[in-house]
Structure 1
């Protein structure tokens, strides 16, 4: 269990670094950062709820990502002030885009792939598990 947690912690840190770098290197499309954000959310949910099923982790990660994206439709002064800070902008985003939801889904899909084939934590009901 500790081995998996430390692996997820490493993956979270690596994904954060790559995501921050993706915003500062010219030529990298913005959607790459959104994919990495979805991937990071997946790894965080997996880290926090290590004993939960893969299906549960996927649903929670998707709901969290989609919830943050839909929250961007709410444009009150107080939350926009938070969004205009560096941390607030990274966590809450600034404006709603349907394409971001696709990017988050792709990021979570990459997380599932990494979880299944790289971390070797196959869910019990998947073929070959």
Structure 2
């Protein structure tokens, strides 16, 4: 009888975890979409924005989108995985802009290719990406604390400390 209760308890626990993961993914998807809309808006309305915002926010928001996208994919991983993964991805894209072969420049000439791959290497972009990712990570940490998920940067077991599973 005890093993039946344990089995049922484990199934219920897994169902709660799965539902929690999907809710978190929806929240991160909303953050990705918000970053995309704000980033595109910073490009479209750049003439109406302060010069500092128009010059820097688009790249920082692109990096935010990458961070939240990685969090959406790796929902159960530690926050530092998304932090370092998004930095690595953004830096790799920026350094790839030093490569100027005709085939990749043709891709960069398209709207989507230009948004994803960029046009040319700028050291300032590395700073913008770092700031955007740091802000995203800080927001993520703060939101998790508000939700009662107590994680540290090196904590792999964020679901275990969630109020949903207690």
- Structure 1 length as normaliser, TM-score? 0.92
Query: Are the counterparts in 2 of residues 4 and 119 from structure 1 also a CA contact under 8 Å?
Result: no
Query: Counterpart in 1 of 2:151?
Result: 123
The structure showing larger relative contact order (alpha-carbon pairs under 8 Å, at least 6 residues apart) is: 1
Kindly provide the CA deviation profile for residues 81-119 of structure 1, in whole angstroms up to 9, marking residues without a partner as x: 000100000000000001001000111011111111124
Query: Are the counterparts in 1 of residues 80 and 153 from structure 2 also a CA contact under 8 Å?
Result: no
Query: Are the counterparts in 2 of residues 35 and 104 from structure 1 also a CA contact under 8 Å?
Result: yes
- Take 1:114 and 1:46, find their aligned partners in 2: how far apart are those partners? 12
- Take 2:153 and 2:109, find their aligned partners in 1: how far apart are those partners? 44
Secondary structure of 2:44's match? coil
4+ residue runs over 6 A deviation: none
Query: Counterpart in 1 of 2:84?
Result: 59
What is the RMSD of the two structures over their aligned residues, measured on CA atoms?
A: 1.6
Secondary structure of 1:37's match? helix
Query: Counterpart in 2 of 1:88?
Result: 113
Query: Are the counterparts in 2 of residues 115 and 122 from structure 1 also a CA contact under 8 Å?
Result: no
- Structure 2 length as normaliser, TM-score? 0.72
Distance 1:52 1:58, change over 3 A: same
Query: Counterpart in 1 of 2:61?
Result: 36
Give 1:124 deviation, angstroms. Answer: 3.6
Q: Bigger radius of gyration, 1 or 2?
A: 2
